[in-house]
Amino acid sequence: MIVLRADTLGYCMGVRRALDLAVRTAETVSDRPIYTLGPLIHNPQAVEDLRRRGVEVLPEGDVDGRIAGRTVILRAHGVSPTLRSRMESLGARLADATCPRVLASQRRARRLHEAGYSVVLVGDRNHGEIVAVTGCAPGCSVVGSPEEAEALDLSEPVGVLAQTTVSEEEFDAVCRVLRSRYSRLEIVDTICPATRERQESLARLAARAEAIVVVGGRSSANTARLFRAAQALGRPAWHIETAGELPPEVFGFRVVGLTAGASTPDSIIAEVEDALLGQARTDPGAGR
Ligand code: SF4
């Protein structure tokens, strides 16, 4: 078997930065536990690795006196200004891993709100990033589809931003509706290139591979999106979290493409690659 890696796969800049900060914090802060508010990234293996280093997950929305005097690592998704103030007033020491791209979205939402715009966020209203940006533009609307955009009743001017990980198609579909309804409209494209780069890399990979393995956490939205894209490209595809989940069918292919979501650890990608190659060496059907 030949295993082809996507030229862009795995950790994005924001996730790598957050994990580096968490590891550095665990090495330098002696008080335990250190907390993250919700899992630092959407990958259970990486979260477990942090737990072994003394970094525990505090359930989202569960901010109380436990964090007094403790270090709390803020995720790449960021937090709303209100939540940040609450944690500070409870006496937490904050280690801020908010991705610079998310901070830029927060600043843009705040500016539009302060300039009197009705702010529309395109994304998932339950996603941590959107919850945080919403806090920067009180009263803003969150829409997940063109139908929801049709139902809005806004005063102009209207400012539109995207969750950093929505697809360009989803964003464009909502913007088309808003353009048809509002003339004083400012569209700010805040989609992160990391998602597009992984999708484009996958398309190049699919042109050369017979089947695609997508590695990443089951709760990782960008991994799920990569998997759907692999299927749409017409290749047999599997979404797995670990090497142990590789299906037997994959070993029947001669050229297998390997990609991974933006929160997948390098070590897990390497394990999957090794498992594919190792199996191929001992599999009597290898080389077909
Ligand atoms: S996907 Fe983009 S915005 Fe989100 S954490 Fe990664 S680099 Fe930052």
- What pLDDT, on a 0 to 100 scale, did the predictor assign at position 279? 57
Q: Which fold has domain 13-99?
A: Rossmann fold (3.40.50)
**Of all atoms in ligand 1, which is nearest to the CA of residue 192?**
2
Q: Is 221 in the pocket of ligand 1 (CB under 6 A)?
A: no
pTM: 0.86
CATH number of 2-10+194-282: 3.40.1010.20
Q: Where are the alpha helices (DSSP H) in 79-140?
A: 81-89, 100-114, 128-134
129 tagged catalytic: yes
pLDDT digits (tens, 9 = 90+) for 217-263: 998 888 998 999 999 999 999 999 999 999 999 999 999 999 999 98
> What is the 137 CA–ligand 1 centroid distance (Å)?
20
Query: Residue ranges of the domains in the chain?
Result: 2-10+194-282, 13-99, 101-191
Among protein residues, the one whose CA lies closest to atom 8 of ligand 1: 14
Strands 211-215 and 237-240 turn out to be parallel
Name the active-site residue from 48, 60, 88, 129: 129
Listed residue (89, 96, 85, 163) closest to 131, CA to CA = 163
pLDDT digits (tens, 9 = 90+) for 62-90: 788 999 999 999 999 999 999 999 999 99
Which residues have CB under 8 Å from 40's CB, separation 6+?
Answer: 18, 19, 22, 46, 47, 50, 55, 57, 73, 75, 76, 97
Do domains 2-10+194-282 and 13-99 share one topology? The answer is no
For 101-191, give the CATH class. Answer: alpha beta
Residue 148 tokens read as 């929801």
